[in-house]
Amino acid sequence: MTLTVSDLTIARGGVPVLEGLNLTLAPGQALVIRGPNGIGKTTLLRTIAGLQPAVSGSVQGAEETIAYAGHSDGLKPTLTVTENLTFWASVFGLGSIQPALDAFDLNELAARHAGNLSAGQKRRLGLARLLVTGRPIWVLDEPTVSLDTRAVQMFADAVRAHLGQGGSAMIATHIDLGLEAQVLDVGPFRAKLPALDDFDGGFL
Ligand SMILES: Nc1ncnc2c1ncn2[C@@H]1O[C@H](COP(=O)(O)OP(=O)(O)OP(=O)(O)O)[C@@H](O)[C@H]1O
């Protein structure tokens, strides 16, 4: 499944942050999105994942194919690691959670409640969830936050394996993951700010 982004203009809080973006992401490909804080990386990923509407342009190939992992880990704190993964596997209709436990070294934590894990352990669990979605396009917003060096390596290995199986990944990150990837440098503001006297309810 190839993701095609055509002439995409996006906004946050009513303010355009990026305009006229074109890109494709084919099976087996990774795209790393870089850029300074506040430039619009999260807005772009949320728009591509269908979590917010585009101002104009289109995203094709996204429906039902994207697994999104954003800043919030979305874990259920009162469920154990195993229960969290089993829940998501059942939502997505997949069977074994063992590959996800193995890939992110979660076996020893399997019976622990997610709410009692450390920040890095929670992040590993959040990323392990990607493996039980069975979805081919991973859209990931700063996935390595809180991960130690070893866990970053685990994550990079999981992405490589995913690409090797015909998946693809779009990753906003500030670190070098050592992946063979296209790079999208989101440059300084490329859209026009609205006139100052334009009232914008999006800021309220
Ligand atoms: N809920 C919101 N309402 C209004 N403006 C917002 C909102 N969330 C973010 N913004 C603004 O939209 C712009 C783009 O934010 P975005 O989160 O996409 O940036 P980013 O590149 O992902 O930043 P970072 O690297 O800090 O995560 C920023 O100027 C930000 O202040």
Question: What's the chain's Rg over C-alpha atoms?
Answer: 18
As for how many domains the chain has, the answer is 1
- The answer to the question of residue 195 being in a domain is no
Q: Is residue 60 part of a domain?
A: no
CA 185 – ligand 1 centroid, Å:
16
Helices 119-133, 149-164: crossing angle, 10 deg rounding: 10
**Domain that includes residue 89, residue range:** 26-50+65-176
Give 70 Cα–ligand 1 centroid separation in angstroms: 13
CA distance 81 to 78: 10
Model-level pTM?
0.89
Give the pLDDT score at 59.
Answer: 95
Residue 10, in any domain of the structure:
no
The residue to mutate among 18, 41, 51, 72, having the most atoms of ligand 1 within 8 angstroms of its beta carbon, is: 41
Indicate whether 74 belongs to any domain: yes
Take atom 29 of ligand 1 and give the residue whose Cα is closest: 38
Which residues, at least 6 apart from 164, have a Cβ–Cβ distance to it below 8 Å? 28
| pLDDT tens, residue by residue, 29-61 | 999 999 999 899 999 999 999 999 999 999 998
Distance 121 CA to ligand 1 centre (A): 26
Q: Is residue 12 part of a domain?
A: no
* Other CB atoms within 10 Å distance of the CB of residue 36: 11
The minimum-distance atom of ligand 1 relative to the CA of 14 is: 4
Distance 28 CA to ligand 1 centre (A): 29
Decide if the complex's ipTM is over 0.95. no
Residue 114 sits in a domain whose CATH number is: 3.40.50.300
